[in-house]
Amino acid sequence: MQLQVDIGFDQLVQLAKKLPGNQWAKLKQEVDKQHATDRSVSELECFLLNALFF
C-alpha cells in the first residue's frame, strides 16, 4: 500500500520541526548527504566543461 500526500514547503518545514531529535538527525544527515552528492557532481561538471577548452 502506498500513500501520497501533497503538502506545501511551509507545511513540510513545520512537520520537520516537530520531529524527535533522533529522527531530525537522520533527516538532516540524508539531506546533507544528497546536497554533498549534488555539489560534487556540479563541481565535476564545471571541471570537465572548463577542461575542454584548454
Q: How many CB atoms lie within 10 A of CB 19?
A: 13
Q: What is the per-residue pLDDT for 2?
A: 86
Please check whether residue 26 lies inside any domain of the structure.
Answer: yes
What pLDDT does 54 receive? 54
Q: Is residue 35 part of a domain?
A: yes
Check residue 15 and give its pLDDT.
Answer: 92
Question: Is residue 9 domain-resident?
Answer: no
**Per-residue pLDDT tens digits for 8-39:** 999 999 999 999 999 999 998 888 887 666 66
How far is 39 from 29, CA to CA, in rounded Å? Answer: 15
**pLDDT at 20 (0 to 100):** 95
Residue 28 lies in a domain: yes
Give the domain range for residue 27.
20-54
Check residue 52 and give its pLDDT. 65
For residue 34, being part of any structural domain is answered with yes
CA–CA separation, 1 vs 26, rounded Å?
24
The answer to whether residue 6 sits within a structural domain is no
pLDDT for res 53: 63
Whole-angstrom CA distances from 18 to 14, 39, 52 are: 7, 28, 48
Number of domains within the chain: 1
